[in-house]
Structures are given as structure tokens and as C-alpha cells.
Structure 1
Amino acid sequence: MQIGALELCLRGYDESIATQVTKLTELAVHLEQMGYDRLWLTEHHSENFVHASPLILLPILASSTTQIKIGVGGLLLRYYLVGRLANDVAFLNQIYPDRIEIGLGRGRPNVGREVGLITEATSATYPALVSEFDTQLRTRALPVPVAKTSDRSQIWMLGSHHESCTVASALELPYVHAGFLDKEFQNVPVIKPLHLAISGIINNSNYSALRAIYDNDKIKVIPQVYGGPESATKQLADIVHRFDPTSLLYMDLSQSFEQKLRSYELFYQLAKLVARETNQEFAERSTCH
């Protein structure tokens, strides 16, 4: 089971954007050293978040690391000119072959209009935009020479609704279910392979983890994994047993940078432990049958 990080990039109090981007770069280095397979950034248009243009940060993070895949989940496709976006992604792929991943998200049209990124002229439906972006990137219909890399897998779909899953299936794109928006896991699609994104805070004890949740007034989602190692292991084991995901993306909700590093470290260790135990259980069942 692959393990990835989906970073919210919540803005810290009294810190400049430059300082927070430096911390984000440090986080990417630490995640690679821990063994994470990928780091995705979210896209939000609010004063509570560090950035509204995550694509700009990808080369900064990729140049500071060597192997971990760097991406966006999800890039709000409605807010972009599809041709220009495909061109930029193709260019990044030349510089960092097989490392750039783009997880596409729907985004809310009303928010896009409020920040001036969507006008009434933006009439194309979301599935049509995804199809156009996929086609342009796949067929190389771009004004720049593109290196021949296996970039078909660089496009993902990130969603919490059946329509996103349907679009991903139609275009044969991998789909990541945003479990952090589906706290009861009522809408998780029965598909294989399943890539699942969850949120949480893990610390050395239940008290310290719960205190971190209560202290962070910017948290707007309910974590699926939280508490000390013992509690978090049980929660993770339940998720893995229920859904048998091919990969997990973990969105840490900590405000403190030190807490965030610890939470990501514990999650990776616990997820690998649960994956090993689950694989062993499946192997024993197969042997019995």
C-alpha cells in the first residue's frame, strides 16, 4: 500500500508567506526521508491558506527533493485555461520526468466567480474540461517540444461525489476518494484500485492530539484518524480492512509545524504496520481456503 501526504498548507499566525513556503519545502524533504511516496498540495482561495496557486510551488518542492512524487489534489480545473494548464504541466514533466502528478478537482463555481476566476463565459461542463485537459496532455497538442515520458498516470481525479468517479472511469484515470469530506464513508465507491484520502491528527497521546484539534480553529473537516498511536492504529486498521485501499493520502490538520512532522511520521509508521498485518491476514486466509 502506497502512502502519500495531502497538505492543506494552513496559514500560521504572524508568519509571512515566504516563511511558510520555506516550511513547506522542509516538510517535503522530511516526507521523502520518512518514505512517503507522494506529496500533494491542496488548492484553496481563502485567507486561511498559504497559496491559491499550488502549481507554482511544484517546481520549488520538486527541486528540493529527488524521488517523492509532487502534485496537486485537487487542482480546481474550472479556474484555469485548459490549454495553458496542459502546456505548463507538460513543461514541468520535462524538467521532473515521472514525478509531477495532477489531481483534478471540481471546485465550487460560486467561489470562482467571487475571486474572479470564473465568468459566465466559462460554460464548459466539468467532465468536458477534464476530457479536454486529458486529450491535450496525452496527444501532445502543445506548442512546446515534450520529452517522451510515461506521463499518462500523472492525471488523477479527486472527488467526493459519484460524478467525479464516473468521469474518471470513462477516461480511464485513477480516482482518489476524498474521504475527509465523507466522514461516515457513505459514498466510497466500490472500485479497484481504490485510492483514499483521509484526514487526522496523530500525536504521542490521545490528549495531545485532541488538544491540537481543539486549538486549531481553522479546521473545517472532521478527522477520521486521531489520537495517540494505539487509537490511531485501531482507526487505520478499520479503514484498511473495510476498503483495502491501494494507496492512502493523509491530510494532517496540525497547526504547529513540529506537531505536523510528528503526525506525518506516526501516520507513516502506523499505516505500514497495518498494511503488513492486513497482508499477512489475507495470505493466511488464502492458505486456509
Structure 2
Amino acid sequence: MKLSILDQAPISANQTAQEALVNSLKLAQAGEKLGYTRYWIAEHHNLPGLACSAPEVMLSYIGANTTKIRLGSGAVLLPHYKPYKVAEVFNLLATLFPNRIDIGIGRAPGGSAEATNALSDNFLQNVWKMPALVKELIGFLENDFPAVHDYSGLSASPLPETAPVPWLLGTGKKSAFLAAENGIAYAFGQFMSDQDGVEIVKQYRDTFIPRKNRHQPKVILTVSVICAETNEKAEELAISWLIWQLQKEKEEQLLGVPSIEQALKYKPNKKETMHINKMKENIIIGNPNVVKKRLQQLQVKYQADEMMIVTITYSIEDKIHSYQLVAEELLQ
């Protein structure tokens, strides 16, 4: 089984954003040593507790301090930007770090309404234009526009020997169809979807249109995992993330991902307890054997080519240890 990492660069309580971003590097370096295929980092804007607003900057930092793990955005939020600039940025990364760069593409705003307005004057219009934006971006990445196209002869320099690999990220049928019609790889965010993911991924495979070097559909399934030596310890680690989610949804003043001790002091009411139990249905929490079986079951169920794991804990040590335990079960 191929395994990869999705990092949302969370900031823990009593931690600075700088410390959180340094921890992102530590996670990527650990993932490389453990045999993970790729490391992607997310883009968020004006969201308390999440440190990365510019994946391209972090990827240059991480690329300079790793040697072989593939690096990518999970995702660059295309409606905020012009495809030409995005292609230039990722071509530059692919020139600096040959044959290591992915470009995950998303359509979400990635933050508050105020941040969206500050980033783009016409975000909603660009969401409607997403199919055209994706085609334009692929054209620049492949340096291939027909002679009649407005961009004929225009290159997103520098042109790397190996172009960044485009992936479309999503949680619904629109994203699956868009990836399929453009013949690009698809990453389904199972960890943040309440839809029938199996049917969505099947639709992608069934409608996939081969193009150039992409002859077959390719699927990454992204799942939330917290692993520890025992089920009890994993449940204990998970409480930090679960309480943090409750606090975010209530728009409470947040100090970052709470420690286990802080999280245990929070006393959820009956409705919140039900919500916590509902959230846990979409997370794999357990010892290495439990996690291994659940990941294998999901891979078969979705026919996924690769599993991508997102893990949020209070401490970076617990997070890296979780990835280590999973790797020891499935990669070594």
C-alpha cells in the first residue's frame, strides 16, 4: 500500500505559528524517512489555529530540507488566482526539486468571507469558471496551447524537465467529473465528506478521459487517522482534536489545539457528545492493527491507488509517532 501525508499545519495551544511551521518540516522529514510517498500541505486563510496560507512558500522550505519525498499543495485554491501565476510558481518548484512536485487543485475559499474578499474581487464568478481555469492551468503546465489560443507562444517559465503533476481535490461529484474530463488524477477527501464517496470515485473512474501521458485514472483517498500503541491511548490523543473541532464550530476564542489535559476539562453537553460520536465515525482511531485493517478495508472499498493520512494531535511527537506506527504496519 502506498501511504502519503496531508498536513494542515495546525497550531497547538501555547505554540507560535513559527513553531507550528517548523513542526511541518519535521513531519515531512519523518515521512520521508518512514517511506511515505508524498507530503502535501493545505492552504487556509484567516482561520484560527492553522498556520499555512501559502503552500508554495512552505514547499520551497521543505523541499530544501528533504531529498526524495514528493511535495505538493493540498490544495492551491485556484479561484483566488490566475492560472498563469500558479503555473509559474509550481514550475519554479519543479525546477528546484526535479520530479518531486505535485499541484493539488481545489475550489474552496479556504477561509472566512472577509479573507475571500481580500484575496479576490470575483471569487464566486471564478468558482463558476473553474472548468476553464483548470484547463488553462493544465495548458500552462504542459506548455501546450493550440496556435489559435490567446496564449499561443506564452510559457510559464521556468520550464522544468518534468512538469508538476496536477491533481484535482474534492469531496463531491463536480470535482470527480472535472478531474475525469481533464484526464488528471483525483484525490477524494473522505475525512471531510458526508457523501457517498464510493460512488463519486466510481464516477471518476467510469468517466475518465485519457490524455497524453495520463492513460489511466488514479485515486488518492484522504482519511483522518490517530494511531497509538493501544486503543485507549489513541482515544486519549483524539480528544484534543475532537474538542478543538467543537470549539471552532462554536466560534469560541481559540488558543490552538488543546492539550489532552485541557481537552479533558471541557465538559460537553448531551448534544455535543452526540456530535463528538458522529465525528469519530469519520476518523480511524486505534492501535496499529486496528488502523491497518481499517485502511486496508477503505482501500479495497474505494479501489484507491494510494491512501493519504491527516493526523492532528496536540504534540508533534505524538503525531510523528502515529505516522511511524502506521508505516511500520503497512510500509516496512
TM-score by length of 1: 0.86
Counterpart of 2:276 in structure 1 is none
Counterpart of 1:26 in structure 2 is 26
Q: Which one of the candidate residues 225, 228, 233 is aligned to 1:203?
A: 228
How do residues 1-289 of structure 1 correspond to structure 2 at under 5 angstroms? Answer: 1-45=1-45, 46-108=47-109, 111=112, 114-115=115-116, 116-120=118-122, 123-124=125-126, 125-139=129-143, 141-142=154-155, 144-149=157-162, 151=163, 154-182=165-193, 185-186=196-197, 187-190=199-202, 191=205, 192-216=217-241, 217-219=243-245, 222=280, 223-272=282-331
Segment drifting more, 264-273 vs 86-95 = 264-273
C-alpha separation between the residues in 1 aligned to 2:50 and 2:185? 27
Amino acid at match of 1:189: V
Segment drifting more, 85-94 vs 104-113 = 104-113
Unaligned stretches of 5+ in structure 2?
145-153, 206-216, 247-278
CA gap 1:91/1:233 in 2 versus in 1, 3 angstroms: closer
CA offsets 1:114-153 (integer angstroms, 9 cap, x no match): 441121376331111111111112116335342332x26x
CA gap 1:127/1:243 in 2 versus in 1, 3 angstroms: same
Segment drifting more, 212-221 vs 190-199 = 212-221
CA gap 1:112/1:58 in 2 versus in 1, 3 angstroms: farther
Deviation at 1:112, TM superposition (A): 5.4
Deviation at 1:66, TM superposition (A): 0.5
CA gap 1:157/1:23 in 2 versus in 1, 3 angstroms: same
Segment drifting more, 212-221 vs 9-18 = 212-221
Deviation at 1:185, TM superposition (A): 4.9
CA contact (8 A) 2:171 2:189 kept: yes
CA gap 1:98/1:239 in 2 versus in 1, 3 angstroms: same
**Residue aligned with 1:189, SS:** helix
Give the CA RMSD over aligned residues.
2.2
Deviation at 1:25, TM superposition (A): 1.3
CA gap 1:101/1:143 in 2 versus in 1, 3 angstroms: closer
Segment drifting more, 104-113 vs 91-100 = 104-113
Deviation at 1:101, TM superposition (A): 0.8
Segment drifting more, 172-181 vs 116-125 = 116-125
CA contact (8 A) 2:228 2:321 kept: yes
C-alpha separation between the residues in 2 aligned to 1:109 and 1:44? 5
C-alpha separation between the residues in 2 aligned to 1:123 and 1:213? 39
Unaligned stretches of 5+ in structure 1?
274-289
Segment drifting more, 36-45 vs 234-243 = 234-243
**Residue aligned with 1:108, SS:** coil
CA gap 1:134/1:113 in 2 versus in 1, 3 angstroms: farther
Deviation at 1:224, TM superposition (A): 3.1
**Residue aligned with 1:218, SS:** helix
Deviation at 1:108, TM superposition (A): 3.4
C-alpha separation between the residues in 2 aligned to 1:6 and 1:172? 23
C-alpha separation between the residues in 2 aligned to 1:148 and 1:158? 25
CA offsets 1:201-259 (integer angstroms, 9 cap, x no match): 11111111111111233347654311112322332232123223211111112221111
CA gap 1:143/1:188 in 2 versus in 1, 3 angstroms: closer
Identity of aligned residues (%): 23
CA offsets 1:150-176 (integer angstroms, 9 cap, x no match): x26x11011011111111111111001
Deviation at 1:184, TM superposition (A): 6.9
CA contact (8 A) 1:72 1:103 kept: yes
C-alpha separation between the residues in 2 aligned to 1:109 and 1:21? 18
